[in-house]
Amino acid sequence: MLGRHGVALTAVLADFLRASWLKNYGRGIEAWHSAGNAIRQAQELTLHRQHDIHQSGPDRIEQTLSVIWYDEFKKRVWMNLFVWDSLMAMILGRPRTIHPDDCDVKPPIDCNIPKDPSKTVPMTVQPGESPNGPTTVSAGLFRYALACKFHEMRALKADRPHLKDHNIIQGLHEQVVSLLENVPPYLRFKSPDTSWDGEYSFLPQLREEVFMTANLFFMTLHRPHILASAESRKAALEATLATLGSQQRFFGQTSEHHYPLFGLAFYTIDASILLSIIVASYPPHGHEPRQYVYHVLQQAIERLSYVQPYNPIARSGLGIVQRCYEKLKEACHSPPNTSATPSSSVVSPRFELQSLRQELSHRNSVPANDVQSPPSPSSGPEYLDLLAPAPSMIPDSFSEAYWLDQLNLIQPSSAIGQDPDMFWDSLLFDRNIL
């Protein structure tokens, strides 16, 4: 009744675990509050501040080493909280709980925590380990660097429409590309070092997760500017296609008991809606690009259909992705307006955003039991049904209203853009994104 007395690191971890569970059940706002509780308790413990550790005596080396490694563990906890705060602000559009100016803690060392901390001096490469081997913190360090870029994006207001200086957007984009290029070889998306995959079976999925998180940043950065800037339109389209391709590979590596995971549905829905808007607003005239877009969206709908019995985010987003796909096909197959000029096609694209908002707002979503989904496997994990609360009891933070709000981030512009065919010719067949 009086709440907690005092703060302990275990309480921080408990609230963080609760936030993760809530997020995977589509309860984004509750997850945001739970993560906020964890952050405030961590701040009470001064996890956001750098602490100097000194050896108290020549005979206390082992104790000092243990304290150093425990401090290293706390840095990793804070790093994860910092990342979550930034990513949830990016996804939910909510205020950030952490301000970077309040934090002076240094990032953790890119190494594994040893089995016996009292016997090991902290260094990047531990005795007996390969200098190029995977660590438990490498992906987290990438996410942390990406979260810092999100704070820069917010500070520069680059994620808002009508930004006057597009060089700000381009600069942030290039910085994140550089972050991706400089991850350890076993996390690289392009030409990865796969020699460790047999020993660490999670690495293929982790590579895809790192790649998808970077592309989430690109979509967030460029989404408000796709009607005003041809560069943002191209970058956003590349990010959506890259995300959907990555999600297809990720799904192929995923077992059924992971179907409730947040990322298995959210990234697919987010990329599918943005892709549909871009393609239908600037439909390609060529057959090959149209067919490729149809193919990746059909794959997205199939994936959501498979996981929607387990995943509340997939249930809420499947109907709207299907309707966006239908509208996209209508736009791509409607007779071209021969009197339209390249500039007029940008001011009034064939696929009007306002029309899309109105239609999606007034049409009822497709009920889950009306969606044609694959039959449930007879040998699936039955415990999922026992752990999952009834759908009617779950307040859905990622309802259709959430996805419609994403459309409001895209503002029409009077800027003159390029001809749709030139736009597609400049992108599509840069095959490294397909």
* Residue 109 token pair: 């060392």
Higher-confidence residue of 324 and 380: namely 324
User: Is residue 109 pLDDT above 70, yes or no?
Assistant: yes
Higher-confidence residue of 334 and 297: namely 297
User: Is residue 341 pLDDT above 80, yes or no?
Assistant: no
- Average pLDDT (229-255) is 94
Confidence of residue 362 (pLDDT cuts 50, 70, 90): low
- The predicted pLDDT at position 344 comes to 42
User: Is residue 30 pLDDT above 80, yes or no?
Assistant: yes
Across 31-35, 67-71, 120-124, 246-250, least confident range: 120-124
Spatial separation of the C-alpha atoms in residues 283 and 380, rounded to whole Å: 41
Contact 138, 187 (CB under 8 A): yes
Burial (0-12, 13-18, 19+ Cβ within 10 Å), 369: exposed
Instruction: Tell which residue, 130, 90, 140, 80, has the closest CA to residue 110.
Output: 140
% of the chain with per-residue pLDDT over 90: 51
114-123, 220-229, 329-338: which has the highest mean pLDDT? 220-229
Spatial separation of the C-alpha atoms in residues 331 and 384, rounded to whole Å: 41
Domain spans of the chain, in order of start:
1-54+61-127, 140-210, 226-376+387-434
- The predicted pLDDT at position 287 comes to 80
Spatial separation of the C-alpha atoms in residues 36 and 85, rounded to whole Å: 8
Burial (0-12, 13-18, 19+ Cβ within 10 Å), 425: middle
Spatial separation of the C-alpha atoms in residues 252 and 249, rounded to whole Å: 5
φ/ψ of 367, rounded to 5, equals: -60, 150
- The predicted pLDDT at position 329 comes to 78
Confidence of residue 386 (pLDDT cuts 50, 70, 90): very low
User: Is residue 246 pLDDT above 70, yes or no?
Assistant: yes
Q: Any idea what the Cα angle at residue 426 is, between residues 336 and 284, rounded to 5°?
A: 20
What integer best gives the mean pLDDT of the chain?
Answer: 82
Confidence of residue 346 (pLDDT cuts 50, 70, 90): very low
One-letter-per-residue 3-state SS of the chain:
CCCCCCCCHHHHHHHHHHHHHHHHCCCHHHHHHHHHHHHHHHHHCCCCCCCCCCCCCCCCHHHHHHHHHHHHHHHHHHHHHHHHHHHHHHHHCCCCCCCHHHCCCCCCCCCCCCCCHHHCCCCCCCCCCCCCCCCCCHHHHHHHHHHHHHHHHHHCCCCCCCCCCHHHHHHHHHHHHHHHHCCCHHHCCCCCCCCCCCCCCCHHHHHHHHHHHHHHHHHHHHHHHCCCCHHHHHHHHHHHHHHHHHHHHHHHCCCHHHCCCHHHHHHHHHHHHHHHHHHHHCCCCCHHHHHHHHHHHHHHHHHHHHHCCCCHHHHHHHHHHHHHHHHHHHHHHCCCCCCCCHHHHHHCCCCCHHHHHHHHHHCCCCCHHHCCCCCCCCCCCCHHHHHCCCHHHCCCCCCHHHHHHHHCCCCCCCCCCCCHHHHHHHHCCCHHHC
Contact 154, 160 (CB under 8 A): no
User: Is residue 382 pLDDT above 70, yes or no?
Assistant: no
Cβ contacts of 296 within 8 Å, gap of 6 or more:
241, 244, 245, 248, 275
- The predicted pLDDT at position 212 comes to 96
User: Is residue 430 pLDDT above 60, yes or no?
Assistant: no
Higher-confidence residue of 289 and 100: namely 100
- The predicted pLDDT at position 264 comes to 92
- The predicted pLDDT at position 94 comes to 84
Cβ contacts of 50 within 8 Å, gap of 6 or more:
104, 105, 106
- Average pLDDT (212-229) is 94
Across 7-21, 50-64, 199-213, least confident range: 50-64
Higher-confidence residue of 364 and 247: namely 247
- The predicted pLDDT at position 299 comes to 96
- The predicted pLDDT at position 222 comes to 95
Instruction: Tell which residue, 381, 382, 366, 288, has the closest CA to residue 325.
Output: 366
User: Is residue 392 pLDDT above 50, yes or no?
Assistant: no
- Average pLDDT (347-361) is 56
Quick: pLDDT tens for 259-287: 999 999 999 999 999 998 888 788 887 78
User: Is residue 198 pLDDT above 90, yes or no?
Assistant: yes
User: Is residue 208 pLDDT above 90, yes or no?
Assistant: yes
Across 248-257, 276-285, 370-379, 425-434, least confident range: 370-379
Q: Can you give the pTM of this predicted structure?
A: 0.84
Spatial separation of the C-alpha atoms in residues 297 and 281, rounded to whole Å: 16
User: Is residue 205 pLDDT above 90, yes or no?
Assistant: yes
Instruction: Tell which residue, 247, 192, 185, has the closest CA to residue 216.
Output: 247
User: Is residue 384 pLDDT above 50, yes or no?
Assistant: no
